[in-house]
């Protein structure tokens, strides 16, 4: 304390501060809870050893975590975790670092799985394309060890891009091969190529590798040459197919006649090309509007069936049926009529949308479809009206025909009222009989008001001269009412 006081005085510390410092020093050297200085030193050393051990463990773990961090960052080309490796980290900081590395390891595993999967697809595409890796990156992907590949975001993106390019090339090959196959099939059909020749191409019809494409291309070239040597047969086959698609697309006669090369009989390559272009255009037209054409075809088929049922409905022999088909046909006809109208409404919506998008009319046989439909319904309505009129007329006849029919009939019901039987009186003259009674009274007495038509057409009696001495008969209207009204 004396030495401290001397230093304090020498450096000029005031008296009041010297007293405060003296109290502090006394507290440092004063016994603590009965422990001696040696005991206190021992406790402090023990605590120091514990802390040093904890420090060593934390630094060791920090070093291991940092090593793992560097390895993961090297694989994925990332920046290491921000932490001071020279200072002892807190437990919270270590936990944070540990959690970060767990997530980083999961990301590394995910990228590695993605890399392996993309690599597998890349190798498959290259085999399909008969192609070898031709860049350093492609060689790193295909040839090098998977664990040595850098799983950076840029590399993963480059992998996806490479795979996309290879798949696009593969798709182009498939499209080109499919185009060759379609052309080959068309030419086979037109040229009537034997089946054994077709079987030789069986292998190349399944795959689309480079060798398959080369083989298909060679076959197309061979068939094209053969086609040039058989222009007439090929032209006839194309014209047959053209007519088929005209039917499927509901082309009108005028639309068909607009393709004037169809009637040209001078077969040339140029004429063949015109036919092929027209056929291709028709096929595209049909495919682009397939849904509409199929809807129209469905309506047409349903309409045909409906007309058949309508025809059966007017056949008197249908009432002889005892199997219950009559009720079934009536129900089917009613259901079909409803479905036809429903289908027409659906097609109208589709056609309206199509015409708005295409800015042109959708024609069926040169006529707007809905007009065509309404025309069909109108024809059916008129036909029903005509049949109705025919049925009514079939029950009508002239008074003379009815009189003649009744007079000649052996049935008592058909005799004129008040006339004697054929065995008791002479046969009456037809003209005098008619003149001796009014037409109305004669028909009513003979038929009770019902008139029947003679099965064969007759010339009106007014057109011929009657024998002298007999009264003449005035002509009667052909459409005499069913019931003769005395008024």
Locate the domains of the chain by residue range.
Answer: 1-30, 291-393, 396-463
Long-range pairs of 414-418 with CB within 8 A, sequence gap ≥ 24? 414/446, 415/446, 416/442, 416/445, 416/446, 417/445, 417/446, 418/445
291-393 placed in CATH 1.20.58.1520: yes
The CA-based diameter of the chain, rounded to the nearest angstrom, is: 190
d(CA 396, CA 480): 6
Task: State the distance between the two ends of the chain, measured CA to CA, in whole angstroms.
Answer: 163
Tokens of 377: 């319904």
CB 293 within 8 A of CB 270: no
pTM over 0.85: no
DSSP string, 54-121: HHHHHHHHHHHHHHHHHHHHHHHT-PPP---SSSPPPHHHHHHHHHHHHHHHHHHHHHHHHHHHHHHH
- Quick check: 249 pLDDT over 50? yes
pLDDT of residue 85: 83
pLDDT of residue 456: 38
What does residue 280 show for φ and ψ, rounded to 5 degrees? -65, -40
d(CA 224, CA 234): 11
Quick: pLDDT tens for 202-221.
888 778 888 888 899 999 99
Tokens of 169: 């090339």
Helix (H, G, I), strand (E, B) or coil at 368: strand
Quick: pLDDT tens for 106-142.
998 999 999 889 988 988 888 888 888 888 888 888 8
pLDDT of residue 475: 38
pLDDT of residue 130: 82
- Quick check: 452 pLDDT over 50? no
| Residue of 143, 121, 123 lying closest to 131 (CA atoms) | 123
Residues counted in the chain: 487
- Quick check: 79 pLDDT over 70? yes
- Quick check: 487 pLDDT over 50? no
Quick: pLDDT tens for 18-27.
888 888 888 7
pLDDT of residue 229: 83
Confidence label for 319 from pLDDT (cuts 50, 70 and 90): low
Radius of gyration for the chain, computed over Cα atoms and rounded to the nearest angstrom:
54
Residues above pLDDT 70, as percent of the chain: 78
d(CA 115, CA 119): 6
Tell me the pLDDT of the chain averaged across its residues. Answer: 77
- Quick check: 299 pLDDT over 50? yes
- Quick check: 320 pLDDT over 90? no
pLDDT of residue 18: 87
CA distances from 378 to 149, 372, 381, 411 (A): 78, 10, 5, 45
Q: Which residues of 152-174 are buried (b: 16+ CB within 10 A; e: fewer)?
A: eeebbeebeebbeebeeebeebe
d(CA 187, CA 178): 14
d(CA 370, CA 350): 12
Provide the 8-state DSSP code for 32: B
Distant-in-sequence, close-in-space partners of 156: CB < 8 Å, separation ≥ 6: 111, 114, 115, 118
pLDDT of residue 396: 65
- Quick check: 476 pLDDT over 70? no
- Quick check: 454 pLDDT over 80? no
pLDDT of residue 39: 84
Considering only residues 164 and 203, tell me which one the structure prediction assigns the higher pLDDT.
Answer: 164
Q: Which helix (H) or strand (E) holds 363?
A: strand 363-364
Burial of 201 from C-beta contacts in 10 A (0-12 / 13-18 / 19+): middle
- Quick check: 387 pLDDT over 70? yes
CB 80 within 8 A of CB 66: yes
Considering only residues 478 and 48, tell me which one the structure prediction assigns the higher pLDDT.
Answer: 48
Burial of 390 from C-beta contacts in 10 A (0-12 / 13-18 / 19+): exposed
Considering only residues 276 and 325, tell me which one the structure prediction assigns the higher pLDDT.
Answer: 276
- Quick check: 271 pLDDT over 50? yes
């Amino acid at each position: 304390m004396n030495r401290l006081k001397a230093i304090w005085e020498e450096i000029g510390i005031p008296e009041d501060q010297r007293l405060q410092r003296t109290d502090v020093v006394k507290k440092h050297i004063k016994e603590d809870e009965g422990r001696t200085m040696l005991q206190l030193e021992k406790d402090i050393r023990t605590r120091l050893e514990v802390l040093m051990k904890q420090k060593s463990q934390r630094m060791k773990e920090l070093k291991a975590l940092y090593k793992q961090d560097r390895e993961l960052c090297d694989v994925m080309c990332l920046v290491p975790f921000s932490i001071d490796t020279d200072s002892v980290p807190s437990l919270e900081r270590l936990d944070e670092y540990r959690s970060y590395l767990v997530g980083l390891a999961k990301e590394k595993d995910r990228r590695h799985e993605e890399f392996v999967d993309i690599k597998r697809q890349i190798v498959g595409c290259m085999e399909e394309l008969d192609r070898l890796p031709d860049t350093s990156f492609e060689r790193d992907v295909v040839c090098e060890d998977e664990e040595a590949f850098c799983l950076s975001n840029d590399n993963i993106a480059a992998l996806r891009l490479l795979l996309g390019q290879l798949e696009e090339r593969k798709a182009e090959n498939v499209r080109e091969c499919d185009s060759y196959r379609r052309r080959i099939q068309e030419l086979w059909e037109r040229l009537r190529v034997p089946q054994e020749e077709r079987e030789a191409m069986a292998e190349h019809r399944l795959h689309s590798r480079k060798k398959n494409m080369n083989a298909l291309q060679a076959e197309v070239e061979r068939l094209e040459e053969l086609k040039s040597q058989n222009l007439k047969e090929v032209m006839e086959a194309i014209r047959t197919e053209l007519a088929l698609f005209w039917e499927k697309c509901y082309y009108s006669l005028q639309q068909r006649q607009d393709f004037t090369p169809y009637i040209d009989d001078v077969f040339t390559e140029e004429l063949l090309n015109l036919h092929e272009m027209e056929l291709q255009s028709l096929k595209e037209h049909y495919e682009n509007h397939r849904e509409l054409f199929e809807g129209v075809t469905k309506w047409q088929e349903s309409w045909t069936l409906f007309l058949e049922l309508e025809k059966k409905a007017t056949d008197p022999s249908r009432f002889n049926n005892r199997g219950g088909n009559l009720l079934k046909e009536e129900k089917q006809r009613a259901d079909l009529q409803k479905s036809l109208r429903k289908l027409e409404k659906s097609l109208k919506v589709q056609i309206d949308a199509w015409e708005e998008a295409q800015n042109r009319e959708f024609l069926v046989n040169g006529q707007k479809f809905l007009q065509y439909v309404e025309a069909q319904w109108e024809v059916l309505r008129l036909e029903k009206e005509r049949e109705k009129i025919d049925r009514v007329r079939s029950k009508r006849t002239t008074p003379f025909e009815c009189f003649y029919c009744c007079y000649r009939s052996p049935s008592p019901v058909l005799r004129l009222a008040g006339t004697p039987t054929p065995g008791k009186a002479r046969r009456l003259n037809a003209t005098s009989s008619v003149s001796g009674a009014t037409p109305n009274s004669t028909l009513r007495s003979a038929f009770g008001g019902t008139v029947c038509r003679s099965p064969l057409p007759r010339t009106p009696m007014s057109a011929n001269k009657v024998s002298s001495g007999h009264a003449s008969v005035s002509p009667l209207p052909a459409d005499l009412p069913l019931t003769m009204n005395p008024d």
